[in-house]
């Protein structure tokens, strides 16, 4: 599960995601303070939250829950950030039993508290990682490991209902004005490098290359990757920002880098060559949101190529780029982002 909120909605952009769509029970969307781009979900009153319609049935597997919270407007009183009552009443809140300015995750095997995670005036990234091998929950604040809580026994979270809520828990919610952003849930233990990239707001996976052309917004579009570069995890997402609003776009990929200026009359620069595949299957052609951003969770076992689909293999390097609609002097044209090199493990 991954909510960016950048489309001013509760679209889940994670792969493979889940069957039921989330529903917004009254939260609004405001410019994000966490990474300085896009939007965040803001509380505007009690009992207003997001019903994910997701059952926390992790069983005994590892998991990761991450988010960015900002209490500057809402104040730092007691408030819930997420919870799943049927999953051993797992819930996360600040202040109250956690102590002032601290955040707590209630766990049946031992609660974990991250000190200073909800101080006023600064957005904070909070990440909880349960490692089923070490049988411990690790707490990260702004990319830094600050707390480790050994669990009394292996956690076994078997939620019996689709009751996982974001922005609240059992009717209790965030205070009016508090925001939550980049909410992620993964059924694996995310490593330090990935958490560091989340905190740096860099997208984190891959290395950008190739100079993109400026588009009609006055800046150049850029591509980024998030998630794991470990092939067996098959949990990798592509994203792009700084495109014109409501522009149609799709990702392209190749194992060969190149450079071609204004290919086919485009206003941009093509940064891949050789066997180039296009992500144009069902649901893969995107339209940029109000923040000029798109995202797509890709299946590493079905990477498009001219002669069909191939599986990414450990040790391979793949390059990605975004093609999108643009205009120049009021005349329709196309453009490209920069390139992204990803070395898969």
Q: How many CB atoms lie within 10 A of CB 233?
A: 15
Q: How high is the mean pLDDT of the chain?
A: 90
2-192 has which fold?
Jelly Rolls (2.60.120)
Alpha carbons 36 and 72: distance in angstroms, whole number: 15
Summarised one tens digit per residue, pLDDT across range 169-204 is 987 888 888 999 999 999 889 888 888 878 877 555
The DSSP secondary structure of 203-271, one letter per residue, reads --SSEEESPPPB-TTSSB-EEEEEE---GGG--EEEEEESPPTT-EEEEEEESEEEEEESGGG-SSEEE
Q: Does position 4 have pLDDT exceeding 90, yes or no?
A: no
Whether the Cβ atoms of residue 92 and residue 164 lie closer than 8 Å to each other: no
DSSP symbols for 98-126: G-TT-EEEE-TT--EEETTTT-TTS-EEE
pTM score of the predicted model: 0.71
Q: What are phi and psi of 233, to 5 degrees?
A: -75, -30
Q: 87-100, pLDDT tens digit by residue?
A: 888 999 999 999 99
- CA–CA dist 260, 276 (Å, integer): 13
Per-residue pLDDT, 121 = 77
Neighbours of 151 (CB within 10 A): 18
Res 19 pLDDT > 70 = no
How confident is the model at residue 203, as a pLDDT?
52
Q: From CA 51, how far away is CA 115, in angstroms rounded?
A: 28
Q: Is the pLDDT of residue 49 over 70?
A: yes
The reported pLDDT for the residue numbered 202 is: 55
pLDDT of residue 149: 96
CB-based contact 219:292 (threshold 8 Å): no
Cβ 244 vs Cβ 327: under 8 Å: yes
Q: What are phi and psi of 29, to 5 degrees?
A: -120, 130
Tens-digit pLDDT profile for residues 249-275: 999 999 999 999 999 999 999 999 999
Confidence grade of residue 36 (pLDDT, cut at 50, 70, 90): low
Query: Is residue 224's pLDDT more than 70?
Result: yes
SS3 180: strand
Which position has the token pair 């939007």? 39
Tell me the mean pLDDT in the region 298-320.
96
Question: What whole-number percentage of the chain has pLDDT above 70?
Answer: 96
Per the CB < 8 A criterion, the answer to whether 182 and 204 are in contact is no
Range name among 19-28, 97-106, 143-152, 310-319 with the lowest pLDDT average: 19-28
Say whether pLDDT at 316 is over 70: yes
Q: CA 118, 124, 129: angle at the middle one, nearest 5? A: 95
β-strand pairing of 124-131 with 136-141 = antiparallel
Nearest to residue 304, comparing CAs of 322, 277, 283?
A: 277
Most confident listed range (7-16, 37-46, 116-125):
116-125
C-alpha to C-alpha distance for 263 and 269, rounded to whole angstroms: 7
Question: What mean pLDDT comes out for the span 53-76?
Answer: 87
* Least confident among 42-51, 217-226, 259-268: 42-51
pLDDT for residue 74: 62
* Residue 250 backbone phi and psi in degrees, to 5: -150, 155
For the domain spanning 207-343, the CATH number is 2.60.40
Is pLDDT larger for residue 303 or for residue 8?
303
Break the chain into its structural domains and give their ranges: 2-192, 207-343
- With bands split at pLDDT 50, 70 and 90, how would you rate the model's confidence at 8? confident
pLDDT at 146: 96
What confidence category does residue 112 fall into, taking pLDDT thresholds of 50, 70 and 90? very high
Question: Does residue 37 surpass a pLDDT of 70?
Answer: no
Using CA atoms, how far apart are residues 224 and 243, in angstroms rounded to an integer?
13
Q: Kindly report, residue by residue over 131-146, the tens digit of the pLDDT.
A: 999 999 999 999 999 9
Q: What is the pLDDT of residue 191?
A: 87
Which stretch of 10-14, 109-113, 182-186, 220-224 has the lowest confidence by average pLDDT? 10-14
Tell whether omega for the bond before 89 is within 30 degrees of 0, i.e. cis: no
- pLDDT at position 76 over 80: no
Compute CA distances 275 → 131, 264, 310, 318, whole Å. Answer: 40, 17, 12, 11
């Amino acid at each position: 599960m991954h909510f960016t909120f950048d489309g001013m909605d509760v679209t889940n952009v994670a792969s493979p995601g889940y069957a039921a769509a989330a529903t917004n029970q009254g939260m609004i969307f405001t410019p994000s303070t966490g990474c300085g781009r896009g939007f965040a979900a803001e509380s505007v009153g009690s009992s207003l939250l997001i019903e994910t319609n997701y059952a926390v049935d992790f069983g005994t597997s590892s998991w990761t829950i991450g988010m960015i919270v900002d209490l500057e407007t809402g104040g730092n009183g007691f408030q819930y950030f997420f919870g799943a009552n049927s999953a051993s009443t797992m819930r996360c809140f600040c202040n109250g039993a956690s102590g002032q300015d601290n955040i707590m995750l209630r766990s049946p095997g031992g609660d974990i508290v991250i000190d200073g995670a909800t101080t006023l005036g600064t957005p904070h990234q909070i990440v909880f990682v349960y490692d089923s091998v070490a049988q411990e929950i690790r707490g990260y604040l702004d990319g830094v490991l600050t707390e480790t809580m050994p669990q009394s026994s292996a956690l076994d979270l078997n939620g019996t209902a689709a009751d996982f809520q974001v922005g609240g828990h059992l009717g209790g919610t965030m205070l009016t004005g508090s925001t939550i952003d980049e909410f992620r849930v993964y059924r694996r233990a995310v490593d330090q490098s990935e958490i560091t990239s989340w905190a740096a707001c860099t997208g984190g996976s891959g290395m950008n290359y190739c100079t993109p052309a400026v588009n009609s917004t006055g800046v150049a579009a850029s591509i980024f990757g998030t998630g794991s570069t470990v092939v067996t995890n098959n949990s990798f997402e592509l994203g792009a920002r700084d495109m014109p609003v409501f522009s149609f776009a799709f990702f392209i990929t190749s194992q060969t880098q190149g450079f071609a200026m204004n290919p086919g009359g485009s206003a941009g620069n093509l940064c891949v060559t050789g066997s180039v595949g296009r992500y144009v299957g069902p649901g893969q052609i995107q339209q940029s949101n109000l923040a000029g951003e798109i995202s797509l969770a890709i299946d590493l076992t079905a990477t498009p190529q001219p002669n069909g689909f191939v599986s990414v293999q450990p040790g391979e390097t793949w390059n990605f780029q975004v093609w999108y609609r643009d205009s120049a002097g009021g005349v329709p044209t196309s453009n490209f982002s920069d390139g992204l090199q990803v070395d898969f493990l």
